Structure 1
C-alpha cells in the first residue's frame, strides 16, 4: 500500500526549514540546495511543493505574518480595552527568543521584498490591516468617542507600528534580549501617551 503523504504538512515543514536557515544565516543561507539538505528531501521533491526560491520566500513571509496575526487574535476577549491594546502592541515586539527569531526572518524578507513586487504588495496589505486594527483598539482604549479614522487615532497607530518595527530592527544587534526591558518600558510610555 503506498504511503499517504500530507502535502500541506510537507509545505509547512519546508517553510519551517527556510525560517530556521534564515534565522541562522540570513536570507542568503536559505538556498534551494540548503533547504533540500536540511529538510532531508531529494532535490526534485522540493520543486513539487515550491517551484522556486521566490515561492518558498513568499510562503515563509506569509507564514511569519500569519503567526503575528494569530498572536494578535489570541488575546483574551474579556480584557478591558486598554489591556487589549497593550496585548496587541506587545505581541508585535521582540520580547522573547521566539519573537526575536521571527524578527530576524521578517527583516530578511523585507529586504528581499524591495525587489519583489508580489511580496511588497503582501506586506503593504499587512501594514494597512495592522494599522486599521490598531486604530480600532486605540479608539476603544481612549474611550473619547473618536472614530478609528480620526487623524489623532491613525497617527497614534502609526506611532505604534513605527515603534514596533524599530524594536524589531534593533533586536537584531541584541539577539540575547538585552533590550527587552527597554521595549517594555517604551510600551508603558506609549500606553500613557495614548490613554491619558
Structure 2
C-alpha cells in the first residue's frame, strides 16, 4: 500500500509542475523532457506515471478542474442562492494569479477538444457539472426571492457560464486583459439584474 500512495503523490507532484509550466510557457513549450527536468526526474522517467504527453495534458486538465472545484466547495460552504453563485463564479473567473494561470491551461485544452474525442468528453462532463450546480444555486435564489427574472434558470446558468468562460479568454490574452475588478463588477451587475421582474 505505501508504494501506491507514493506513486499517487509523485503523480500529483508531476501534475503540479506540468500545469504551471503549461500556464507560464505554453502547452507546446512544456515538453516531456522539460517537465521531467523541472520535476527532478531523469528524461523518460515520466513514462512510468504517464504514457505520453496527451495523457499528461489530460491529467493536468483534470487536476486543475479538481483544484477549482475544491476552491468552489470551500468558498460556497455555508452559502446559498446568490451569495453562493457569486462565490462559485469568482473561483472560476481569472481574477487572481492562480485562476489566471489555470485559465491558461484551459485555453489550449479547449483547442484539443475539437479533434480529440476523449478531451471533448472530459470538457463536456466538466461543463455539465457546472451547469447543474449553477442551476441548483439559481433555484435556491428563486426560493429566497433573490431571483425574480423571467428568464429560465437553465438559460441564466448558461449566461453565467458563458461570461466566466469568456473572461478566461479576455483576461489572459496579451495586450489589455480584462482587469479583475472589472470582471467582478460584470458579475455583480449580472447578479443584480436577476432581481428584475
Q: TM-score, normalised by structure 1?
A: 0.88
| Distance of 1:139 and 1:188 partners within structure 2 | 18
Q: Cα deviations across residues 116-137 of structure 1 (Å, max 9, x unaligned)?
A: 2111101101111100110010
Matching residue of 1:25: 25
Q: Give the count of matched residue pairs.
A: 190
State the distance in 1 between where 2:119 and 2:16 align.
18
**Contact 1:100-1:175 within 8 A present in 2 as well:** no
Structure 1 partner of 2:112: 112
Q: 1:4, 1:110 → 2: CA distance?
A: 31
When normalised by structure 2's length, the TM-score is 0.87
Partner of 2:67: 67
Partner of 2:58: 58
**Residue 161 of structure 1: aligned partner:** 161
Structure 2 CA distance for aligned equivalents of residues 162 and 137 of structure 1: 16
Ranges in structure 1 where 5+ consecutive residues have no aligned partner: none
Please identify, of 65-74 and 3-12, the stretch whose mean Cα deviation from structure 2 is larger: 3-12
Q: Which residue of 1 aligns with 2:132?
A: 132
Change (3 A) 1:185 1:176: same
Q: 2: CA distance between counterparts of 1:5 and 1:153?
A: 42
Q: Which runs of 5+ in 2 are unaligned?
A: none
Distance 2:25 2:133 in 1: 33
Cα-Cα RMSD: 2.4
Deviation at 1:39, TM superposition (A): 1.3
